[in-house]
Amino acid sequence: MRPNMEPGGAPQSAGFAVRVHSGINIAGINIGCIFRGEPACNFARKVLWRRYLNAHVSQGGWPVLVLNADFRPLSYYPLSLWSWQDAIKAVFLDRVNIVERYDRAVRSPSFEIQLPSVVSLKSFVKPSTHPAFTRFNVFLRDRFMCQYCTAVEDLTFDHIIPRSKGGQTTWENVVAACSPCNLRKGSLTPQQAGMFPRQAPFAPTVHQLHRNGRLFPPNHLHESWLDYLYWDTELDP
């Protein structure tokens, strides 16, 4: 069995049906209670992304980097992170291997475990080959930059061929744009407005989005994660 996955690769706590342990309480978390058929909370997709989006992860939160069975991160942006609580639950379910540990432990009167900092899934999760067409992924493809003036604030998206002129909301017709540029272009074509995007919009691959995601590292990268985040990066000649 493998942890449930939300669309886009964000890991989610799973519900469990078989009781395999009870009576262990670690730092206020009753490990046994997750095995009594009580489903874990079903977080809305936006809540999940906010929870695992690493831009606001602090070192004090002890987040855990989640690797696929091939030791590559499930996702680079947002970085595939679990809370240490979810990681310990997955360890007890025998769904992950602990790869690296923090120099910190949690304990109960009868049990102690070092907090994992990196875990790998025991079952390989096949990566998606076609990224979802979302506003976030459009921004990521365009590196969070207005494609007309290179501004990085107040971003929205613009239809190259306006919808009023038959333009579709597709990868090939939408680019990231700041609000001032979006307003200035309005319902004009690029030729009419004299505004052309820096790059022609295109449907990206997962690899291309991952590559762009590496350009936006989180505020907190624990040293134990680094080997697993950048080991497959192309080397300079």
DSSP the chain: ----B-TTS-B-PPP--S----S-EETTEEGGGGGSS-PPP---HHHHHHHH-GGG--GGG--EEEE-TTSSBS-BTTB-EE-HHHHHHHHHTT-EEEEEEEEEEEEETTEEEEEEEEEEESS--PPPSS----HHHHHHHTTTS-TTT---SSEEEEESS-GGGT--SSGGGEEEEEHHHHHHHTT--HHHHT---SS------HHHHHHHHTTS--S---GGGHHHHHTTSPPP-
Please report the pLDDT score of residue 99 as a whole number. 95
Please report the pLDDT score of residue 237 as a whole number. 42
Please report the pLDDT score of residue 230 as a whole number. 59
User: Smallest Cα–Cα separation from 43: which of 51, 33, 35?
Assistant: 51
- Show me where the domains of the chain are located: 25-127, 130-214
How many other CB atoms are found less than 10 A from the CB of residue 218?
18
| Rounded average pLDDT per 10-residue block, the chain, 237 residues | 35 28 35 33 30 39 91 81 92 95 89 92 88 90 95 93 95 96 96 96 90 73 72 45
Please report the pLDDT score of residue 10 as a whole number. 36
User: What CATH number should be reported for the domain whose range is 130-214?
Assistant: 1.10.30
**pTM of the predicted model over 0.95:** no
Please report the pLDDT score of residue 33 as a whole number. 32
Q: What phi and psi, each to the nearest 5 degrees, are found at residue 205?
A: -90, 165
| Cα distance between residue 96 and residue 118, in whole Å | 10
